[in-house]
């Protein structure tokens, strides 16, 4: 892997639209995920098997994590946060497939994720507090903070993008460099580490999205929103 990760070459074009590798990989992930989900849906029963139990465990864990951060009903956020976590996790782990680059190793995918989180934050904030109430959160604790809060909204989205992109892209690069310099099996420990990194990054991204949404819903400005568990223990 010698080309710049910041430059995407289209694999093919659909009319004027260039189709790049991250998009194709994402489609593959979507197709596999959809097939798996549809298969799992046909196997759902009151007496769960191993696969359903695992799916229920993941769903329950996601709901629990959302509930730790966001007050009230977690149902509206479950699909978004769960999809972000699962997609990032699967996308990060696609680096294990030879010849496949994780979509999250490219800036556009991370930016799309951050953009969706930003839009969801605004949407849930307005839905919970109304447009006026949500806009008032930018003036807290005083109107002087309005520019800083607006900048914070943008910068924290950029931090999401850069954090995920930097971690995954660097991992891919390091593995590629070592693979080009050393033997076939040398990068294996680094690939194992990349598995851990990918899972941690998926968790961090999903939790930060929860925190942003929770802060917007609770009317608290910026990233100063504290998870419920920490607030309760304080």
Other C-beta atoms lying within 10 Å of the C-beta of residue 89: 20
Span of 4-12, 129-137, 178-186, 222-230 interacting with another protein by CB under 8 A: 4-12
Contacts of range 183-192, beta carbons closer than 8 Å, 24 or more positions apart: 191/95, 191/96
Q: Give dist(CA 90, CA 94) in Å, integer.
A: 6
Q: Is 19 in the site for another protein (CB under 8 A)?
A: yes
Find the binder of another protein among 32, 115, 150, 188 (CB under 8 A).
115
Rank residues 160 and 221 by Cβ distance to another protein and give the closer one. 160
In a 3-state reduction of DSSP, which class is residue 10? strand
Q: Is 34 in the site for another protein (CB under 8 A)?
A: yes
Give yes or no for a contact between 179 and 84, defined as CB atoms under 8 angstroms apart.
Answer: no
Rank residues 88 and 187 by Cβ distance to another protein and give the closer one. 88
Q: Is 59 in the site for another protein (CB under 8 A)?
A: yes
Q: Is 122 in the site for another protein (CB under 8 A)?
A: no
Residues 6 or more apart whose CB falls under 8 angstroms from that of 20 comprise 8, 9, 10, 11, 106, 108
Q: Give dist(CA 8, CA 22) in Å, integer.
A: 9
Rank residues 38 and 234 by Cβ distance to another protein and give the closer one. 38
Q: Is 234 in the site for another protein (CB under 8 A)?
A: no
Mask of contacts with another protein, 84-113, x by CB under 8 A?
--xx---------------x--xxxx-xxx
**In whole angstroms, how close is the CB of 117 to another protein at the nearest point?**
10
Tokens read off for 20? 């790049």
- Cα–Cα nearest to 84, from 66, 57, 106: 66
Give the rounded distance of the alpha carbon of 102 from its chain centre. Answer: 13
The residues that touch another protein, with contacts defined as CB under 8 A, are 6-8, 17-20, 22-23, 26-27, 29-30, 33-34, 37-38, 40-41, 44-46, 48, 52, 55-56, 59-60, 62-63, 75, 78-80, 82-83, 86-87, 103, 106-109, 111-113, 115-116
């Amino acid at each position: 892997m010698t080309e710049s990760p910041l430059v995407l070459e289209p694999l093919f074009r659909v009319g004027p639209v260039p189709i790049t590798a991250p998009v194709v990989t994402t489609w593959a992930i979507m197709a596999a995920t959809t097939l798996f989900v549809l298969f799992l849906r046909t196997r759902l029963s009151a007496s769960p098997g191993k696969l359903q139990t695992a799916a229920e465990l993941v769903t329950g864990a996601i709901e629990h994590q959302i509930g730790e951060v966001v007050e009230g009903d977690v149902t509206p956020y479950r699909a978004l946060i769960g999809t972000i976590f699962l997609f990032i996790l699967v996308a990060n782990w696609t680096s294990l497939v030879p010849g496949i680059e994780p979509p999250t190793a490219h800036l556009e995918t991370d930016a799309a994720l951050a953009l969706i989180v930003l839009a969801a934050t605004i949407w849930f904030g307005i839905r919970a507090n109304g447009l006026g109430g949500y806009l008032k959160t930018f003036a807290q604790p005083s109107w002087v903070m309005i520019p800083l809060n607006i900048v914070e909204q943008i910068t924290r989205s950029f931090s999401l993008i850069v954090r995920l992109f930097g971690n995954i892209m660097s991992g891919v690069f390091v593995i590629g460099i070592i693979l080009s310099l050393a033997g076939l099996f040398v990068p294996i420990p680094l690939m194992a580490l990349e598995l851990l990194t990918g899972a941690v990054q998926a968790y961090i991204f999903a939790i930060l999205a929860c925190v942003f949404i929770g802060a917007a819903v609770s009317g608290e400005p910026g990233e100063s929103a504290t998870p419920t568990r920490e607030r309760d223990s304080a």
